[in-house]
Each structure stands twice: as C-alpha cells, then as structure tokens.
Structure 1
Amino acid sequence: MHGLMMNYPLTLTSILRRARDLFADGEIATREPGGVHRYTYGEFYDRVLRLMGALKAAGVKPGDRIASFAWNRYQHLELYFAVPCLGAVLHTLNIRLSTDQLTYLVNHAEDRMIFVDESLAEQLVPLQEHCKGVERFVVMREGGSDSFGLRGETEYEDFLASGTPVTELPELDENTACAICYTSGTTGNPKGALYSHRGLYLHTMAIGMADVMGLSQLDSALVFVPMFHVNAWGLPFAGVMFGSKLVFPGRNPQAADVVDLIRGEEVTFAAGVPTIWMMVDQHLQQHGGDLKPLQRIACGGSAVPAALMRAYDERYGVPIVQLWGMTELSPLGTVSRIKRRMRNASPEEQYAARLKAGIPVPGIEMRIEGPNGEILPRDGVSVGELVVRGPWVISSYYKMEGSNKSFTPDGWFRTGDVAALDPDGYMRIADRVKDLIKSGGEWISSVDMENTLMAHPAVAEAAVVARPDPKWDERPVAFLVPRPGREAELTPQAVQDFLAASGHFAKWQIPYAEDIHLIDAIPRTSVGKFDKKVLRRRWE
C-alpha cells in the first residue's frame, strides 16, 4: 500500500526559486582586489538565468561537463547554480594541482568549457594543447585586461551578455547528475564522485539542522572552505536555500583577511580546515583583537587538535565544531556535539567527546567491519573498516570499471578509514586502511604514532609510513620536522625513549634507529594533508 504524496523532485532549481521568492534582498559579499563586491539574491537570480541562457546558446546540453577553476567568489556561485539547473554537470577543478593532474582530470571528465579566474588563468595555458575536448575558456575578470591566449577565450561578463536569459527553469529528474568532484587521490589517480540533485538537496537540508551546522537566514556565513573542495562542504547551496548572507573570501585569502571579513561582514558562522584557524589564532595573538560577532566554527578536513579547540573556547568564546566527511559523502558524515546527558559533565569529559569525529548526521548510517566482513560491536574499542550508507553517499565512481570493491555486497560504501564506534554512537578514526602498518601479523596505527610524536616539544610535524621488511612484513618509519634549533633533542635514541615512555607502544612497535629521519618539511597533497605516497616512494 502506497502513501499518496505529491511528486516533488528534489532539485537545485527549487533552491534557486526559493531564494528568488523569499530572500531577494539577501546579500552576497565577495572580497575583491578593489574592495568588497556586493549584490542581492535577486540580482544573483537574474544573472544565473542569463548565464543559463548563454551556456545554452554556446551549445551546452544536459549531461555535459563544465569545469570551474576559481577561488570562492560570486561568479563561481553563479556557476554552482546555472550549470546544474540546465541539467549539465559542474566539475570544480582544484587550483592547487599540477598541470599533469589537471590534464588527467579535464580529459577524464571530458570537460567542454572551463571557467577560470583571471588570477589563475596562466596555470591553464600549458594544459590546453593536451585537452582537445575543451572548446572554450571563459575568464572571470577582477579588473585586469590581458588576454591569455586560451582557446576560444571570452570574458565572463561578455559571455553573460551574449545570452538571452532563460524564461523558465527546466523540470529535471532529481536523480540527474549535477556535480562531480574528484578525490585528492592519496593513492593512484583521483576518482570522480558524481552527485545527483536529490543527494545534494538532502545534504543541503541536513546542513540547516540544529545538530549539524544549524545554518539559517539569520546567519552571515563565511565560506572559507574552497569551492573546489567537495563543493565547499555544500555551504554555497545551503546559504542560498536558507537565505543566509554569504561571505566569500576571494583570491588567496590570508589570516588577516579572515579577521577583517568576520568583523566587517558581521560573520556569525565560518567553516574551514584546522590550519586556517591556527593561522587566525596566531594572527590575533600577534596583533590583538577578537572574533566578535562570530558564534561558531565548523572545522574538518583533518582532526582538530585539542589545543586549538581549547584556545578558541578560552580566548574567543567561539566553539569549534568538529566534522568528519569524505568526497564520496558529498562530504557530510559526522558532527561532534555533546549529548544531552553530558551537559553537566566535566570540561575534560566534554572535550573528550568533542574531539572525536562525532555522531552520524541524520541520513547517514555507519558500521564497523572486521577483516572478513563481520560487523564489530560498538564498544569504542573494536577497530575495523568504517562503512557507511545514506542518500548523499555515492553508489559508484564515475567511469570506473571495477570500483565495486569500494562497496560491500549489500551496497554500503567502504570508506578506507579504520575506526571505532562507541556505545554513544561517536566515531573515532584510528587510521586509513592503507596507512596501517602490519608488522609480524599485528597492526601499528600510524596516526597514533604521529599524534604521540607531535606531542614532543622539539617536534613541529611528524609523519609515519610503512616500509617493506623481509622478516616482519612491514616496519614503521618516522619522518620528523624539528622545531628551529632543537634538532639535537631528536636523536634516534631520544625519539625511541619518548615513544616507549608514552605508554602507547610496545617495544616491537617502535621504529628502529635507522628508520627515524629528520627532514625540513613533510610533503603535502593539494588539500594540505600529508602526502605519504611521496614518503613511501623511498622504498619502491
């Protein structure tokens, strides 16, 4: 027996219409070289319809991939809606990738057009001869006027003017693809996660939930997460759905810019990876000042250090809310908030909960699997692979045969993260499957070892990888970046003694003396995570 409900497709077009009807006077602010660019949701809506007309006139058809190569700016937001609302697919390219990586992605996605910020256009010049499928490049100006010699080069405002605005938004099937993001690829080539309108619509609604990010039209939201990182965690779509004031930091923002925007644009909510909040804290420690009127920070991408969470509580009265997610989850997976019964718990107990990855967002289900697919207990101790399912979790990778090993026989997605779930439902990440070190049939967690090493006063950064070993299968290798002038404190013996004294590691788990290396810097991926592939290559 079926319930009789109206068929209402969950598409980005309805989010766009809602902004027009309810929030036409809402504001979108972008930091630009000459000051702050401002306009309203009403003006934004008109420009999106004109951009849709221009794309249509340029021959863009439903299903075509259109790429962006841009900072967080208002024109990028126009693409976020115009491309998907036409039935095409927006491919946000990571501006920090090498020419080779970009070439691979553009060709794999078969992008037909690339919209590029003027300040980034030079990076695409060497790419065009290897990407024959790209018919034209549209440059989004910020005041300059040079031509870059790109194929079919057009200025964004000229391109916009060339179109007749569409008169009505098309009726789309909610399962139509609307966006594609590629994983940062810590192993092998990046993989494409293709998102549907339905998935992103439901993901957007989740962002507004009080226990998730609680975004509302009363908020002024600073979107510091790059729009080329999993759609800026979905915040551009959410801002438009809920009518929040959206604040974009524009080209290459620094800590001082973040502070200026928070104060100048009355920002109440901000989102970004831990690194930027460390930089903001350092800036304020040097120059003084506070973060009023900021109320809360959503932080993810890598684990939030305890010291950072405490600093924001104590110095600025701004809670950092930890999130965990993945490109394949659009990206929202968990949010760490304390449970009702913990309201009167000690600060230490509350920190212990807030520093975990969190509990699943409504819509996401999780379980932990052992090596043979058995489901492990939620006891906070049993560690295995985290598998998830939900309406915004991908069901396959784009154009990848044989990607079914990423999914369980009953269709759940294998995250590749090693985790534990406790009886309260909090998830704790122990490691990535590929970063676990298997020595003599036992596991060593590289994450635990890195965290312990980074607690050493002379260590600035630490990365731990496995090297092949004829006797033990694998052995841990530690790379340490010393704090200036403190190299002498990090002799192999001193490091081994420090690990032993921590109580976290058995003697056999501690790296051999010849496997402890001091280096100047740890290589990083385009999204700022440690690039362990580079470190592992020493043994290939």
Structure 2
Amino acid sequence: MEIEMQGLMQHWPLTVDKILDHAARVHGDAEVVTRRLGGDIHRISYAALHDRAKQVSAALMAQGIRPGDRVATLAWNGERHMECWYGTMGIGAVLHTINPRLHADQIVWIANHAADRVLVLDACFVPLIESIRDRLPIEHYVIIADRDAMPANDLGALCYEDWIAGRDTGTPWGGFDENAACGLCYTSGTTGNPKGVLYSHRSNVLHAMMALGRDVLNIGRNDVVMPVVPMFHANAWGMAFVCPAAGARMVMPGAQLDGASIYELLDSERVTMTAAVPTVWIGLLHHLREHGLCLPWLKRVVIGGAALPEAILRAFEDDYGIEVIHGWGMTELSPMGTLGGLMPALADADRDIQVRQKLKQGIPPFGVELKIVDEDGEELPADGNSPGRLKARGFAVAGGYLDGDGGDVLDADGWFDTGDVATIDNHGAMQITDRAKDVIKSGGEWISSIDIENAVLSHAGVANAAAIGVPHPKWDERPLLIVQAEPGARPADHELRDLLEGRIARWWMPDEIVFIDAIPLGPTGKVNKLKLRELHREGKLRAPLN
C-alpha cells in the first residue's frame, strides 16, 4: 500500500540505553539494593549505576568489543550484573545471559554457538568455568568481586572493580538501528540442543512499556520491587528494563533464595512487589507459618514459570492479604504472554469462581495476540472447553532462532507455535492444559496433567507432584501420578484420590500413585517430565504408596 502522507514526529529509536539514561536523569536517587554473595547488603543509586555501566562500556571497547559481538554473563541478580547489561547493550553489543543451572556440556555448547568473546561471572561459578575452560571460546574473563575478595583462579581473569576503575563515564551509547540485536537467551533444550532467542532493542523496549500497564506488572516509581526470578530467565521477566523505566527501587536477592533470606529482604526493604516461580513461594510460605510471621509491606506477587497451585494462591490472598498475579510466558515471548486477573464481570462472583479464574494463565496485554487451533490448523472457539495448540504473535514474539536453528518457526500468517495445549474462555482468559510434548492422550482424548497436579498439590502433605502418561495396552496411555511428600508426611492413596474426586473427570483418575524422594526439576525450576518418563521406562520409580 502506498503511503500518501508521512507523520511529522521525531525519529527516536527504541534502544534500551535510553531506559537507564531516563532512570539516571529522572529517578537518579532511587536505589538498587543487592545482597552480595558474602551476605553483605550493597546500595547504589540509578545515577551511580548509570556511570558504572558507562565504565563497563569503555572496558569492553578497550577489549575490542564492537556492535554485534556477544558478551556473556554467568551471574545472580545484582547491581553489577545490571551494569554489565546496560554497558554491553549501550554500545550495540549483545548481552548473552547464561543459566548456571544448565549442565556443563550445555554451557559449553551455547557459549560456542553464541561465539561469546567475554564472560563476566560471579565468583561462585569460577570452579565450574575452570572445569570447562579449554572447551570455551572466551577471550576475556572478568570475575564480579571486590579487590580484597578476588578468588584465585586459572582463568587469567580480571577483577571486575579493576576492570572498570578509572574508565570514562561518558562513553557514547546508542546511535544504531532499534532493530539491532540486543540480548540473547537460550531455551533450556530439554530435547535436542538449546536454541538461541535473539531479542532486539525495539522488542525489549516495547515489552517493557507493555509490562508497565495497570493490568500487567503495574510498577511505578513508588514501588519497591524484588525480582527473585533470575536475570538469566528472559530478562528477569522484563523487570531489568521495567524497574528503571518506572523509577522503581529495586532489591536484588543474589544467590540466597531460601524462605528465610527472601523474607528478610521483603521485610527489611519494605518490598511492595516481587516475582518468582512457585517453588520459591512454597519455601517462603513454610517460613512464614513456622515462625508466625507476616508481610505488612508486600502488596502483590507475580507467580509464573509453572502452573500456580491453588494452595499458594489462597495462602497469599486469604491468609496474608497479598494479591497474586498468575503469569504465563516463555523465552520466545520476551517472556510475557498473559497475566491473570478478574474481568469486571467477575468482580462480584463467588470466591471459588474467582479463584478458578485467577488460576488460569490470564489475559494477553496489548501487543500479544493468541489463538488455539486443532490438529488441522483450524482455529477453535473461545469457549473454555476446546483445547488446542496455542499460537502467538506480537512485537516481542520470536520470528526465528539464532543461525536459523529449528527452521521456519512461523506459519504462513506469522503465528508462532508455543508448544502448549490450551483453552481460551469467553472472557479472553487463556488456560494451559499441558505442554504438547507432555499431554496425556488416553483413548483418543486429552487428559490435563496440570489439573491433576494442581488438585493434589492442595494436600498439606504434598510438596510436589507430577502426572505423566505411561503406555497402556488398551487406552494407549494412562496417567501415572508421582508424588513428593513433605518431610515426615506420607499421604494415603485414598486421601489423594478423594482430593481428585469431583475436580477432574472420572476417567482422568490416575491408575497408580507412586512416591519418590524428590521430583527432578529442570534448569528453570520446572518439573522435568522427560526425566520422569525415563525413570519409569527404566523401572526406577518406587512402588505405589498403598
């Protein structure tokens, strides 16, 4: 279509360096508080962090880093990690966050695939990197540490503080196309090699602006935000950009994510909003109950990365008066896809109805489009009862993977297949019923493993649960329920079946319930069903509970 008239607005490229520029200029006194590896608390203003990020830029340029080069980090949430983010991205280099929970062989693979030239790492990861150093492409190592705490190492590494000391705080940022590559994050690679999701400056800025919305993260300058979700999980769900854009005070928990450590920071720093996967909140709730504590400052908790158990939602909202926001997304969505909440039509609904709605993954904000399709690619109705493959498109949705891995990932109309099976109801709320690769198909019909798991997790004696499909001679597959009990607890088989009765279709009832000491988790904290299926094939799961 030929455009007859152009607008007369300024050209203002959407590059992420502008976010920290804004934070330093308008919210310069707002703090970023970090619990460092040694346990000490460090405080820095956005203005000072901005200057130090500029020094990181100067240090990288002195090492020959230019636009498009990859700079990797292997670090927990902290202010110096943020300095590396903006210092790298500001000069047009690509910041590659590495998940330290990956297997060493996977770290080697992604570092080489990304062609990382510099690695900035927390001191606690030095032994890991020393063990694989000869297999890495890294030219320069920098250890995040103070001079007097610099660990001995065989990497020839520089001390972070020496690396940036005396560098220019006026290194120019920006000046490149907003579609330039900005960040790189790899999928966990539970099947095959991980794939690189390459974010652009434009996608990250637009994602941050979307996340600021009232019905999304709703973060403002009066908030104190603690991103417990690591920065190597898709930009800490975008909060590494959202908080400075809003001017919100940040509290970085570092590596200590146990219930007692999380509570201490939430209380002492008067945190108003926080975000993490369900396993973190299980630990916090145990600590609160054991010690009779409360959280007078905390207003809302964003929970994502895995299905939200009803017991956690009710505990936060009913026992502690804290709003729970259930979120869903994935690395390929930058990562936010939907946020839970109630539509006006349900404002006065029965509490049980509201809870069922809030347990859904939620409603896509402006900028994300979703649809569900059947096996023939035909769109299914938004009636809440028609599960199908979930597809997405939007300004922050991946259009492909680094180096073309995985081939063409979009269909003819530009939709990305998320790999999830879901429904969408008449309120527009999406609910994941399974991963396509995890779906249990019995007698030609789908069974939702997530519904089974969530019901069982409401039992006080259950610490974690997973349902998987196992071969059956007549029905193709039948559900097997695997339970990890709380220490000292041993739920009876009939108790768990009673919990499921009435909550799931009768033919969904698991044929067997087995007990194991610990359900295996993947590198992002999700249940590793691939490993569970492997254990079942090898006959290594224990006999039924009763």
Name the TM tier (shorter chain): over 0.9
How far residue 503 of structure 1 moved from its aligned partner, in angstroms, is: 6.5
Q: Distance in 2 between matches of 1:125 and 1:8?
A: 44
1:534 has 2:531 as partner: yes
* Correspondence 1:139-288 to 2 at 5 A: 139-141=143-145, 144-150=149-155, 152-161=156-165, 163-288=167-292
Q: Could you state the TM-score of these two structures normalised by the residue count of structure 2?
A: 0.92
1:96 has 2:93 as partner: no
Q: Distance in 2 between matches of 1:196 and 1:88?
A: 11
SS of 1:434's partner is coil
Cα 1:185–1:341 shift into 2, 3 Å? same
Cα 1:537–1:162 shift into 2, 3 Å? farther
How far residue 371 of structure 1 moved from its aligned partner, in angstroms, is: 0.5
* Correspondence 1:44-443 to 2 at 5 A: 44-131=49-136, 133-141=137-145, 144-150=149-155, 152-161=156-165, 163-404=167-408, 406-443=409-446
**Does the CA contact (< 8 Å) of 1:435 and 1:445 recur in 2?**
no
How far residue 121 of structure 1 moved from its aligned partner, in angstroms, is: 1.6
Task: State the AA in 2 paired with 1:355.
Answer: L
**Does the CA contact (< 8 Å) of 2:521 and 2:527 recur in 1?**
yes
Q: Distance in 1 between matches of 2:272 and 2:335?
A: 22
Task: State the AA in 2 paired with 1:523.
Answer: P
**Does the CA contact (< 8 Å) of 2:102 and 2:188 recur in 1?**
no
Task: Name whichever of 367-376 and 465-474 sits farther off.
Answer: 465-474
Cα 1:41–1:512 shift into 2, 3 Å? closer
Q: Distance in 2 between matches of 1:251 and 1:531?
A: 22
Task: Name whichever of 200-209 and 273-282 sits farther off.
Answer: 273-282
Cα 1:500–1:170 shift into 2, 3 Å? closer
Task: Name whichever of 525-534 and 443-452 sits farther off.
Answer: 443-452
How far residue 118 of structure 1 moved from its aligned partner, in angstroms, is: 1.1
What is the root-mean-square deviation in Å for CA atoms of aligned residues? Answer: 2.2
How far residue 99 of structure 1 moved from its aligned partner, in angstroms, is: 1.1
1:519 has 2:516 as partner: yes
SS of 1:261's partner is helix
Q: Distance in 1 between matches of 2:523 and 2:496?
A: 32
1:15 has 2:19 as partner: yes
**Does the CA contact (< 8 Å) of 2:455 and 2:500 recur in 1?**
no
SS of 2:397's partner is coil
Q: Distance in 1 between matches of 2:274 and 2:348?
A: 27
Task: State the AA in 2 paired with 1:92.
Answer: T
Cα 1:249–1:335 shift into 2, 3 Å? same
Task: State the AA in 1 paired with 2:364.
Answer: P
1:62-120 superposed Cα distances (whole Å, 9 cap, x missing partner) = 11111101111100010111111111111111121221121111111111111001122
Q: Distance in 1 between matches of 2:266 and 2:503?
A: 43
The alignment of Structure 1 onto Structure 2 pairs a total of residues equal to 531
**Does the CA contact (< 8 Å) of 2:32 and 2:45 recur in 1?**
yes
How far residue 505 of structure 1 moved from its aligned partner, in angstroms, is: 3.7
SS of 1:399's partner is helix
Q: Which runs of 5+ in 1 are unaligned?
A: none
Cα 1:188–1:124 shift into 2, 3 Å? same
Cα 1:495–1:47 shift into 2, 3 Å? same
Q: Which runs of 5+ in 2 are unaligned?
A: 539-546
Quote the residue 1:42 is aligned against.
Answer: 47
Task: State the AA in 2 paired with 1:88.
Answer: A
**Does the CA contact (< 8 Å) of 1:458 and 1:489 recur in 2?**
no
Q: Distance in 2 between matches of 1:166 and 1:488?
A: 62
How far residue 288 of structure 1 moved from its aligned partner, in angstroms, is: 2.4
How far residue 141 of structure 1 moved from its aligned partner, in angstroms, is: 0.7
* Correspondence 1:452-467 to 2 at 5 A: 452-455=455-458, 459-467=462-470
Q: Distance in 2 between matches of 1:401 and 1:439?
A: 33
Q: Distance in 1 between matches of 2:469 and 2:356?
A: 29
**Does the CA contact (< 8 Å) of 1:262 and 1:292 recur in 2?**
no
Q: Distance in 2 between matches of 1:334 and 1:109?
A: 29
Q: Distance in 1 between matches of 2:139 and 2:301?
A: 41
SS of 2:402's partner is coil
How far residue 35 of structure 1 moved from its aligned partner, in angstroms, is: 2.8
How far residue 470 of structure 1 moved from its aligned partner, in angstroms, is: 5.7
**Does the CA contact (< 8 Å) of 1:462 and 1:481 recur in 2?**
yes
**Does the CA contact (< 8 Å) of 2:456 and 2:496 recur in 1?**
no
How far residue 45 of structure 1 moved from its aligned partner, in angstroms, is: 1.1
Q: Could you state the TM-score of these two structures normalised by the residue count of structure 1?
A: 0.93
Q: Distance in 2 between matches of 1:472 and 1:308?
A: 34
**Does the CA contact (< 8 Å) of 1:496 and 1:511 recur in 2?**
no
**Does the CA contact (< 8 Å) of 1:186 and 1:532 recur in 2?**
no
Cα 1:371–1:149 shift into 2, 3 Å? same
How far residue 487 of structure 1 moved from its aligned partner, in angstroms, is: 5.0
Task: Name whichever of 424-433 and 276-285 sits farther off.
Answer: 276-285
Q: Distance in 1 between matches of 2:340 and 2:192?
A: 31
Q: Distance in 1 between matches of 2:90 and 2:29?
A: 22
Q: Distance in 1 between matches of 2:69 and 2:367?
A: 29
Q: Distance in 2 between matches of 1:219 and 1:495?
A: 43
**Does the CA contact (< 8 Å) of 1:301 and 1:325 recur in 2?**
yes
Q: Distance in 1 between matches of 2:500 and 2:151?
A: 60
SS of 2:149's partner is coil
Q: Distance in 2 between matches of 1:28 and 1:325?
A: 26
1:229-262 superposed Cα distances (whole Å, 9 cap, x missing partner) = 1110110111111111111112323222222212
**Does the CA contact (< 8 Å) of 1:364 and 1:390 recur in 2?**
yes
1:165-193 superposed Cα distances (whole Å, 9 cap, x missing partner) = 44422302110111011112332222211
**Does the CA contact (< 8 Å) of 2:59 and 2:164 recur in 1?**
yes
How far residue 314 of structure 1 moved from its aligned partner, in angstroms, is: 2.5
Task: Name whichever of 221-230 and 460-469 sits farther off.
Answer: 460-469
How far residue 468 of structure 1 moved from its aligned partner, in angstroms, is: 4.2
**Does the CA contact (< 8 Å) of 1:204 and 1:234 recur in 2?**
yes
Q: Distance in 2 between matches of 1:380 and 1:495?
A: 29
Task: State the AA in 1 paired with 2:440.
Answer: I
Cα 1:488–1:531 shift into 2, 3 Å? closer
